[in-house]
Structure 1
Amino acid sequence: MSEIQQSLPEALFRGTLEAIVTRFGLVEQAGEDGGPWMTLASQLPMVQGSVGNVRLFTGAPLFRLVTCSLTVAPMQLDSHMLFAFTPGNSPLPHFTLDSVKAGEHFAFHLDLIPRLDLGANLAYMDSVFQPLTEVFEAARDIEGLSRAHLSPRQLAVMSPWMLAHRADASAFQAIEGTVQAYREHWCGLVEAGIPAEVCAGVSGEALQARNLANKAMLFSPEIDPVWQRIEGLIGAEAVAAQRALLLGDDE
């Protein structure tokens, strides 16, 4: 396996992270030791020492941006997650990207997380998500992609424009333009805001309540089995701390 293939997930992740941090002037919050917010240490006897980190960035107009990277060579795992949260009382969607290589297979997950019920808010759906349709449909036709196995409950807490696929190396490289298009659309929404008439009648309190309820499901170990899988690697305490950061109440 060539070096460029081994580093593809990190390159996609870092390019996305740097673009968002630079565009919005976000500031990284250091941990107690002056390094990343949290260092992730292996709890497995066959893997020693640090296996990754959690980083935290803050700054208006976002609430926070959280990343988690896990690189475990003996397990052939190279995983990088980014979640950019908008304020709790805002209708602006959250942005998320997972960029992964496990064994010989690549995978990614890309989405804008809706803040209103799309089944009852057509104007919001058309304003926030409809512009992504052409990019979304083109991405699904990329040769070398196959749909990831997600449960109906996992699908229900995301958006219908979510892309979650396994990929070969060529297909994984080909989705970079898709990630950029989603990121640029989301950044544009954050900068321009969502027209008031699109969210008429929806209060900040209602948005806040839905946001907290949605995040509780997004990061639930009962819904997303990834938490159970990584608990054996980094331990229950580290998983709980990471989930608390993602769930954070921004009132």
Structure 2
Amino acid sequence: MTADISLPAALCQGALDRVVERAHLTEVTGADGGALLPLTSSAFGEPMSVGEARVFHGEKVAKAVYVGIVVPQIQMDSHMVFAFTPEDSPVPHFTLDSVHAGGHHAFHLDLIQRVDAGTHMAYNDWAHAPLTEAYESVQGNPGYTKAALEPRQLTVMSSWMLAARSTVEAFAELDAPVHTYLDHWLSLLEGEVPAEVAADIADTDLAARDARNRGLLFSPQVDKVWAQISRLLGDEQAEAVRLLLLDNSLPVGQPA
């Protein structure tokens, strides 16, 4: 890691680079060839650049979205990547948040399930059970303090979700669990769906469930972070970012 990039930025950018390379993704850029959606804030007076939203697309990964927001005035250094599989795929979506805000480091890591976990154990064993050792190692590390998420917010994520505040020392150790989650996700992405898993989830309309799940996952009524983003970026920009995450449609832009 170079000296001019923060720990949160390096962690998220490393994951994004691997997804783009392994899934052969193409970036949708703005008219100037840069990020699709530059982000500005007027919360501190004159409009100032505070980050960007980037969008990529491909086949096995239908859409990947990166959002980076850096605001020194409030000690915010926030980076997020979502990699979404196609609507009809049972492969989970990959997500990683890495943040330094208000003097604290924090992260969120998950493979978001595509079916009802309570009725599809063969799916759980295929998509998530291999993550258990990494999940338990993070949960047992005293350098991480479990994030206080509301129960209704937890329902839209997987039971293997990791979300915690972190000491600087523990944050620097996150490469290992992030690589474990990402390596497993890439193996699902590049492999075949076992017959027993396909049979287990045959009762699920994957596209319909995904639309409902993502509607809740990125709902301002479920995740209060959208109110904070709106205060920082303004309602119009915050909604533009949120809409990028709701489905796999691609915005109008230029290929990189």
Cα displacement (A) at 1:48: 3.7
- Residue number in structure 2 paired with 1:231: 230
Query: In 2, distance between residues paired with 1:242 and 1:204?
Result: 33
Q: Whose helix fraction is larger, Structure 1's or Structure 2's? A: 1
Does the 8 Å contact 2:115/2:204 carry over to 1? no
Between 27-36 and 203-212, report the one with greater CA deviation: 203-212
Deviations for 1:4-62, whole angstroms, at most 9, x for unmatched residues?
59710001011111111111111111013321010111021346411000000111111
Deviations for 1:159-193, whole angstroms, at most 9, x for unmatched residues?
01000000010010112100010000000000003
- Residue number in structure 2 paired with 1:241: 240
The one-letter amino acid of 1:121's match is H
- Residue number in structure 1 paired with 2:82: 83
Between 61-70 and 30-39, report the one with greater CA deviation: 30-39
Does the 8 Å contact 1:89/1:205 carry over to 2? no
Kindly indicate whether residue 176 of structure 2 is the aligned counterpart of residue 180 of structure 1.
Answer: no
Cα displacement (A) at 1:116: 0.7
The one-letter amino acid of 2:119's match is A
The one-letter amino acid of 2:108's match is H
Does the 8 Å contact 2:84/2:248 carry over to 1? no
| Structure with larger RCO (C-alpha < 8 A, sep 6+) | 2
- Residue number in structure 1 paired with 2:158: 159
Query: In 2, distance between residues paired with 1:114 and 1:205?
Result: 12
TM-score, L = length of structure 2: 0.92
- Residue number in structure 1 paired with 2:133: 134
- Residue number in structure 1 paired with 2:195: 196
- Residue number in structure 2 paired with 1:19: 18
Query: In 1, distance between residues paired with 2:227 and 2:5?
Result: 25
Aligned positions, number:
249
Does the 8 Å contact 1:92/1:193 carry over to 2? no
Query: In 1, distance between residues paired with 2:203 and 2:88?
Result: 4
Query: In 2, distance between residues paired with 1:159 and 1:64?
Result: 20
- Residue number in structure 2 paired with 1:35: 34
The one-letter amino acid of 2:192's match is G
Query: In 2, distance between residues paired with 1:11 and 1:31?
Result: 23
Structure 2 gaps, min length 5 = 250-256
Query: In 1, distance between residues paired with 2:156 and 2:4?
Result: 31
Deviations for 1:85-105, whole angstroms, at most 9, x for unmatched residues?
000011110000000000221
- Residue number in structure 2 paired with 1:219: 218
Give the share of equivalent positions with the same residue, in percent.
Answer: 46
Cα displacement (A) at 1:245: 1.1
Does the 8 Å contact 2:90/2:115 carry over to 1? yes
Cα displacement (A) at 1:118: 0.8
Between 202-211 and 54-63, report the one with greater CA deviation: 202-211
Does the 8 Å contact 1:92/1:115 carry over to 2? yes
Does the 8 Å contact 2:76/2:101 carry over to 1? yes
CA RMSD of aligned residues (A): 1.9
- Residue number in structure 1 paired with 2:64: 65
Deviations for 1:211-237, whole angstroms, at most 9, x for unmatched residues?
000000000000000100010111111
